[in-house]
Amino acid sequence: MFPRLLRIVALLSGRIFVGPALNRNEAWITSAINFTTDVFEGGRKIKMWHPLLRPIAQYFIPEIRKIHAHHRRVYKLLLPTLKARAEAERKPGYQKPDDLIQWLMDRATAWEELDFKVQASTLLVISLAAIHTSTMAVTHAVYDLAARPEYLEPLREEITQVLAAEGGFTKRAMMRMRKLDSFLKESQRHSPFALIGFLQKVVHPITLPSGPLLPAGTIFCVPNSVLDREAGIWSDPHAFDGFRYSTLRDSSPDEGRKHAFSEVSQDSMHFGYGGHTCPGRFFATNEIKLIIAHLVLGFDLGLREKGVRPRNVEFALQVLPDPTVEVLMRRRG
Rounded CA-CA distance 63/41 in Å is: 7
Give the chain's radius of gyration (CA, Å): 22
Pairing of strands 318-320, 219-222: unpaired
**Beta-carbon contacts of residue 192 (< 8 Å; ≥ 6 apart):** 224, 225, 228, 270, 319
Average pLDDT, the chain: 90
> What is the C-alpha to C-alpha distance for residues 331 and 122, in angstroms, rounded to an integer?
39
Q: Which of 290, 4, 303, 313 is nearest to 170 (CA)?
A: 290
Q: What is the DSSP secondary-structure string of 149-191?
A: GGGHHHHHHHHHHHHHHHTSS-HHHHHH-HHHHHHHHHHHHHS
pLDDT tens digit string along 1-53? 888 999 999 999 999 998 888 899 999 999 999 999 999 999 999 999 999 99
Mean pLDDT of 169-182: 95
pLDDT digits (tens, 9 = 90+) for 275-318: 888 888 999 999 999 999 999 999 999 999 888 999 999 887 88
CA–CA gap between residue 289 and residue 185 (Å, rounded):
11
Please tell me the distance from the alpha carbon of residue 146 to that of residue 149, in angstroms, as a whole number: 6
Q: What is the DSSP string of 11-64?
A: HHHHHHHT-TTTTT-HHHHHHHHHHHHHHHHHHHHHTTS-GGGHHHHGGG-HHH
- DSSP codes joined into one string, 187-233: HHHHS-SBS-EEEEE-SS-EE-TTS-EE-TT-EEEE-HHHHTT-TTT
pLDDT tens figures, 77-134:
999 998 898 889 888 888 988 888 888 888 877 655 568 888 889 889 998 888 999 9
Q: Note whether 39 and 67 are within 8 A (CB).
A: yes
What single letter denotes the amino acid at residue 248? L
CB 306 within 8 A of CB 332: no
Beta bridge partners of 328: 302
pLDDT at 109: 72
